[in-house]
Each structure stands twice: as structure tokens, then as C-alpha cells.
Amino acid sequence: MTVLIAGAGPVGLCAANALADAGIAVHVLEAEPALPENLRASTFQPPTLDLLDRFGATRKLIAMGRIAPRVQYRNRAGWVAEFDFGMLAGDTAHPYRVQCEQFRLNRVLADRLGRFPHAQIDFGAEVSDVAQDAGSVTVRLKSGKALTGEWLIGADGGRSRVREALGIALEGFTWPERFLVASTPFDFTAAIPGLADVSYFADEKQWFFLLRVRDVWRVMFPTRREEKDDEILSDAGIEARLQQVYPREERYEITHRTLYSVHQRVAASYRGGRAFLAGDAAHLNNPLGGMGMNGGIHDAFALADLLVGSIREGRDGLDAYERARRPVALEYVNHISSANKRNLETNDPAWREQMSRAAADPHLAKEYLLKISMIASLRKARCA
């Protein structure tokens, strides 16, 4: 019994490790020539850290990254609403976020998977087509090679070839503006008193988001539709935006820059016969809130556990995967991440008042933290 997995990112590798732990053979197919080093995601939510503890990965993430115990919402006029994840101590073993680049988790999980004789990863293995019958699924690679297993997990990202081969639509929309992320070693805490490692700044003209990983701050900005790529990504263009965050005489050192389109989309189905979708292949959302990668990792654990139950115990419960996980993407992640974007770009006084009231009230603060930490969505999915 073999499970084929397209994609060696955090989602595919989490599913592979969970299945390998149960003694199930896994064959991971990665289109890139080496482990992906995508810098887009870097927030690990409390329940994700709880899940990754199964692999001994959480302590390694903490060692490689940075614990972020607080999140702030601010504006340029000095308004601040702060929430402390420590309030969730009774709900999670990790009442904080960890800020660490996702490619570091890829390395940890791939190394762990390499210890299993019944697990393998093939690089340069790009999926071109999928075919299946009542008892198996066959993946054809771009190289012409064909591989057959009993089940397939498509964890091959937003442009998933598995999803396309299954004929499953990715429903939703793409935001008109793109997001720019620039990394700098400049210490914003020395310039902005009381700044938290995760801080959102609302502004009608140019909102921005500051997030600190171990060695640098990552700064996210929206871009204007009329701006050209070379303007946005130029040293001068990024410098001008960083000077709006904190004006200084010296130029900022820029260590990394990325420009990408932003989507709010969910697959019409998470299953096509003996094949399943997980992570970005199943859902895409804007990154405000750090829910995309985390939601994908939650998908991976849920699906792997159901597959183990089906393969090892003969339980007929695989349809529960879509019933549990798809509503979370539609009703929870999409809703919160979209609201985060709208609130930051409008700087609405009513929203600021609501956030200030929640931050000051322990009951409301905890309720809010359960939502943004994704503890609430994970609990909802388990009850589905």
C-alpha cells in the first residue's frame, strides 16, 4: 500500500511523516530540483506547533526562529491594541507564535522522513497527468515516467497540476493589488517604542505589516495596480516605502525582496476519487494573519490520520476530510484574512474601537486570540 504525494513543502512533508509513522509507504514527488526554499510563510500558530510536536519539530523551529508572544494593531497616530497569546496557556502547549521561515521546517521534515525505509522523495519529478481506477491512482511525470499507488495527495501549491488533472476548479478571486515583502536587518524595536514582533499598521494610503524572524524584519506592503515590477522591486522603490515606516538618514539594507499576487480561492472539491487536495492546492488566501501555511498543515494531519484509519483499520471515513476542512477555508480563513486586509486599508474608527475594547476585556481578548491562533478553527473541524 503506497500513498503518492505531490509536493515536498510543509504540507506534503507533514502528511508523509504522519503516514510513515504509521508504517505506510510514501513516495513524495517534488517538481523542483531540491527542497523548496519559499520565503513567503514564516508564522507558526500555537495549534500547529502542538501538531508538529509529534515529529519533534517544534523545538527545532523554536531554536531556528523566534518566539512571538504578542500581536499588535497600530496606526501612525499612535493607537495600539495588543493581544498576548499567553492567555491561551490552558488551550495549547505553545501559547505563542513562532516566527521562522517555512523552508527550515522543510529541511527538518525531509531529514526525518529519510529515516524510514518505506519513504522516499524524488526531486525534479513534475506531475503532468493523473489517471485512476477503482483500486489505484497513477501519476505521470513530465519526464514520461509513471508511478502507481493506492492514494494520491496533491500538495503541489497554488498552481497544482494534480488539481488541474482532476478537473477541480479553484473558485474565488484575485485581489487587484499585489503584495511586496522586503527583509531588512534594521531593528525597528529600537525606533518604535513597545513594538511587538508581529505588528499591523493601519493606514488608508499605505498600510504595512512588520514581522520579525530570527535575523531580520520582514515588511509587507500593498502595491498600486499601475506600478511596474521593476519600479516596485528596485532599491529606490523599496527604500521609499521603508522610509515611510520609519524615516532615517541612513539607507536601509535590503536582504530579500518578493512580489506576488494575492488570492482568496478555495477548490470546489477536496477529493477526486482516490486523490485529495491539501494546502495551497486546495485553498489560497492573503497572508494577513498567517493562516495559509498553517491551514495547510492542519489539512495534512487531518487527511493523514483519516488515511491511516482507512488503510490500517478499514474505516470508511475519507469523505470526512472535505466535510471538515473545506468549510474552515471558506467560512473561517477566507473571512478573517479578508477582514484583516479591509480593516488595515480603511483604518476605520469603529474597527479601532472594537479592537481596543477587545484588548481591554479578558473574555473578548481570549475569544479573539482563539480565532486568530486557529485553535477555534481546528476545534470546529474536529467536530465536523
State whether the Cα torsion 236-240-245-248 is positive or negative: positive
The whole-angstrom separation of Cα 328 and Cα 337 is: 12
Residue 197 confidence (pLDDT): 96
Structure letter (DSSP) for residue 194: T
Q: Domains (ranges, CATH) in the chain?
A: 2-68+100-173+263-343 (3.50.50.60)
Residues 6+ apart with CB under 8 A from 115: none
pLDDT higher than 80, residue 112:
yes
pLDDT averaged over every residue in the chain: 94
Residue 288 confidence (pLDDT): 79
Residue 205 confidence (pLDDT): 87
Residue 123 confidence (pLDDT): 98
Q: Kindly state the percentage of the chain with pLDDT values over 90.
A: 83
Which residue from 92, 24, 53, 114 is spatially nearest to 305, judged by alpha carbons?
A: 24
Q: Are 197 and 66 in contact (CB under 8 A)?
A: yes
Q: Are 341 and 278 in contact (CB under 8 A)?
A: no
Largest CA distance in the chain: 67
* CB-based burial label for 277 (10 Å; 0-12, 13-18, 19+): buried
Residues in a beta bridge with 171: 266
Task: With cut-offs at 50, 70 and 90, classify the pLDDT of residue 17.
Answer: very high
pLDDT higher than 80, residue 315:
no
Residue type, 226: E
- What's the mean pLDDT in 368-374? 95
Write out pLDDT tens, residues 268-283.
999 999 999 999 999 9
Check residues 314 and 54 and name the one with the higher pLDDT. Answer: 54
